[in-house]
Amino acid sequence: MTYPLSDIKIARQTKLKPIEDIGTKIGLPASALYHYGPYKAKLGLDYIAGLKSPADGKLILVTAISPTPAGEGKTTTTIGLGDALAQLNKKTLICLREPSLGPCFGMKGGATGGGYAQVAPMDEINLHFTGDFHAITSANNLLSAMLDNHIYWGNALGLDPSKISWRRVMDMNDRALRNIVVALDGNGLVREDGFDITVASEVMAIFCLARSLKDLEERLGRIVVGQNFTKASVDAKNLKAAPAMAALLRDAIQPNLVQTLEHTPAFVHGGPFANIAHGCNSLIATDTALKLADYVVTEAGFGADLGAEKFFNIKCRQAGLMPALAVIVATARALKMHGGATKENYTHEDLNALDAGLVNLLQHIENVQKFGLPVVVAINHFISDSEAETKAIQEACKKVGVNAHLCRHWEEGGKGALNLAQDVIALADSGKASFKPLYPNDLSLADKIRTVAREIYRAKDVDISATAQKKIKQYEAEGFGALPVCMAKTQYSFSANPELRGAPEGHIIPVRDVRLSAGAGFVVALCGDIMTMPGLPREPAANRIYVDDHGRIEGLF
């Protein structure tokens, strides 16, 4: 069997419905929607504040095995599962993150699903969408500008330029901006600075964890920008920056409503990376979806060791969310790469490589179960998969008491994920979930880092640098010891070495630095060589993106 059309052709042959018709499916009146053209809208905060629900819907997390160049299809599976639940006449809402321009023009390309399991309009969602990321970038850089302006006009707060921790951001991969010098030519006090990508910023994290505009402003005020000469922390509230930052984010914080190709409603809102941030869509979108639908399908970025771990330990902990189950996405060809197959041969049947790579899936299953959740596996089908490979995955999962379903949603839309959806409904309604975070709040920051490394990554231990240890001691002395940790680590391996695939054990996780995100409510641990400003690959996707003679964007998918 061959797949019929490319993603872009599939998208263009699908007739979308007016966005108010999509809202009607989940009980939204037209007056609650702020239109951004015919197929996109924001949901007003006043309407959200007035929502009443006798009971929240069931929250379903879609996560995955450790990513490889072979691809896993987590977003595609999230959309396919949502469409399948809708086909089973379940009131369903999908919650996704907004794509970042960095990956769109870099290595990954667009991030709105694929085949017949997509959210639309794809080109608009993947590029500027409703301008949320631009607003987040501007709010972040307003704080940077106000900070340097404060120093320029006399530095009444006594900020120590050598202790400033706040960095500028942009939503693009640009390695040349990782480390820079600012205030040349007499425009202030010359100091070292740098850029992170917008999705790694604390403003993005705050945006995705705030429950209201008021909460947003309060969290923005708690951002620590550095220390003064007496070594006391200085925050955005001291700089009187939070109200203006919140003003820039007023419209952006309203959730974005779009639709799948099968017209299932979807909130696409917020977009932190899971390898360098907490990797989940906005809490406002998730909370709202749980009041509007019986089943809410959301995703967390990269593998379950990153996105799912942070979804559970950070988002669910802060918000009091109680997920019903987790779906782990796997592909035969990605598992073969974890077992030693190369890019040149992962499309060929290789049961030995598959068997060797299954340890990666099994470790992710065991990890998710540590949080007290039932698990189901979605085998995202590719044309090169053999029946023997699919059977081998299913049998391996069966041995640990987990069902694995072959899913063809890329090719067939929701119909291709009906078996998965039926199992998800049964598990969600079973009451088997007994969710709990991995570690308690009162554990020390170093022991929280160590717990994640040992329990999730199967590391022997962590090696926390002297710089990081000093900062941890300072954070705990200032009252931030109860915060959870956000591990920033390569997504390609359970270890800090991206070349170690499968399920390595007994390694050491090097923690070179830590960063306090007081407003977001966590401490970031930078592990190994992970960068908070990625670079473009040798042949970036931008080389293939253009506007055709009809004004249509090509090459994005």
Please say which residue of 397, 428, 459 terminates a domain: 428
Q: What is the pLDDT of residue 8?
A: 62
Q: Is residue 517 part of a domain?
A: yes
CA distances from 126 to 132, 155, 398 (A): 12, 41, 38
Q: What are phi and psi of 546, to 5 degrees?
A: -155, 170
Q: Is residue 538 part of a domain?
A: no
Burial (0-12, 13-18, 19+ Cβ within 10 Å), 221: buried
Q: Is residue 186 part of a domain?
A: yes
Q: What is the pLDDT of residue 457?
A: 98
- What type of residue sits at position 319? A
pLDDT above 90: residue 513: yes
Peptide bond into 18 cis (omega under 30): no
Q: Are residues 456 and 424 in the same domain?
A: no
Q: What is the pLDDT of residue 1?
A: 41
Query: Per DSSP, what are the bridge partners of residue 79?
Result: none
Tokens of 76: 């595609």
The three-point CA angle 120-125-131 to 5° equals 140
Instruction: Compute CA 378 distance to the chain's CA centroid, rounded to the nearest angstrom.
Output: 19
Q: What is the pLDDT of residue 71?
A: 80
The angle, 0 to 180 degrees and rounded to 10, between the axes of the packed helices 132-152 and 242-249 is: 160
pLDDT tens for each residue of 165-207? 999 999 999 999 999 999 999 888 899 999 999 999 999 999 9
pLDDT above 80: residue 119: yes
Q: Are residues 103 and 185 in the same domain?
A: no
Contacts of 474 (CB under 8 A, 6+ apart): none
Give the count of alpha carbons within 13 A of 143, CB side only: 35
Q: Are residues 152 and 120 in the same domain?
A: no
Q: What is the pLDDT of residue 111?
A: 83
Residue closest to 323 by CA, chosen among 80, 95, 522: 95
Radius of gyration of the chain (CA): 23
Q: Is residue 507 part of a domain?
A: yes
Q: Are residues 312 and 385 in the same domain?
A: yes
Peptide bond into 121 cis (omega under 30): yes
Burial (0-12, 13-18, 19+ Cβ within 10 Å), 368: buried
Tokens of 536: 């473009």
Q: Is residue 2 part of a domain?
A: no
Share of the chain above pLDDT 70, in %: 97
376, containing H or E segment:
strand 375-380
What predicted TM-score, i.e. pTM, was given to this entire model?
Answer: 0.95
The three-point CA angle 344-333-364 to 5° equals 135
DSSP conformational letter for 2: -
252 and 207 Cβ atoms separated by less than 8 Å: yes
Q: Are residues 355 and 394 in the same domain?
A: yes
* Cα 72 from Cα 330, distance rounded (Å): 6
Please say which residue of 249, 278, 308 terminates a domain: 249
Q: Can you tell me the mean pLDDT for 59-70?
A: 94
Q: What is the pLDDT of residue 2?
A: 47
pLDDT above 60: residue 500: yes
CA distances from 221 to 218, 249, 519 (A): 5, 14, 7
pLDDT above 80: residue 372: yes
pLDDT above 50: residue 441: yes
The mean of the pLDDT values for the chain is: 94
**β-bridge pairing 508-517 and 485-488:** unpaired
Q: Is residue 540 part of a domain?
A: no
Which of the four pLDDT bands, split at 50, 70 and 90, describes residue 367? very high
The residues annotated as belonging to the active site are: 74, 76, 97, 108, 274, 302, 382, 410
Tokens of 494: 């359970």
CA distances from 463 to 128, 225, 420, 450, 494 (A): 40, 26, 41, 9, 16
338 and 501 Cβ atoms separated by less than 8 Å: yes
Q: Are residues 296 and 218 in the same domain?
A: no
Which CATH number is 471's domain given? Answer: 3.10.410.10
pLDDT above 90: residue 65: yes
Q: Are residues 259 and 361 in the same domain?
A: yes
* Cα 394 from Cα 388, distance rounded (Å): 10
Q: Is residue 294 part of a domain?
A: yes
Q: Can you tell me the mean pLDDT for 314-335?
A: 97
Give the count of alpha carbons within 13 A of 191, CB side only: 18
DSSP states along 495-506 = SS-TT--S---S
pLDDT tens for each residue of 338-353? 999 988 888 999 999 9
pLDDT above 80: residue 222: yes
Q: What share of the chain is helix, strand, coil (3-state, %, to 5)?
A: 35, 20, 45
Residue closest to 534 by CA, chosen among 171, 213, 231: 171
User: In this structure, how many other beta carbons lie within 10 angstroms of the beta carbon of residue 54?
Assistant: 5
pLDDT tens for each residue of 255-267? 999 999 999 999 9
Q: Are residues 244 and 348 in the same domain?
A: no
Residue closest to 117 by CA, chosen among 81, 153, 79: 79
Q: Are residues 277 and 219 in the same domain?
A: no
Q: Are residues 258 and 387 in the same domain?
A: yes
Enclosing domain of residue 411: 7-130+252-428
Which CATH number is 215's domain given? Answer: 3.30.1510.10
Q: What is the pLDDT of residue 107?
A: 77
Of the chain, the end-to-end C-alpha distance in Å amounts to 22
Please say which residue of 190, 214, 249 terminates a domain: 249
pLDDT above 50: residue 136: yes
Tokens of 358: 């299954």
228 and 159 Cβ atoms separated by less than 8 Å: yes
Residue closest to 134 by CA, chosen among 146, 142, 144: 142
Which CATH number is 108's domain given? Answer: 3.40.50.300
Tokens of 96: 């996704």
pLDDT above 80: residue 422: yes
- What type of residue sits at position 9? K
Provide the sign of the torsion angle of the four alpha carbons 179, 528, 511, 368, taken in this order. positive
Q: Are residues 335 and 473 in the same domain?
A: no
Q: Can you tell me the mean pLDDT for 493-513?
A: 96
Q: Is residue 550 part of a domain?
A: no
Residue with tokens 């203006």: 244
pLDDT tens for each residue of 19-54? 999 999 999 999 999 999 999 999 999 999 999 877
289 and 51 Cβ atoms separated by less than 8 Å: no
What is the number of domains present in the chain?
3
CA distances from 99 to 140, 174, 319, 348, 553 (A): 18, 17, 23, 31, 16
Q: Are residues 161 and 102 in the same domain?
A: no
* Cα 78 from Cα 132, distance rounded (Å): 22
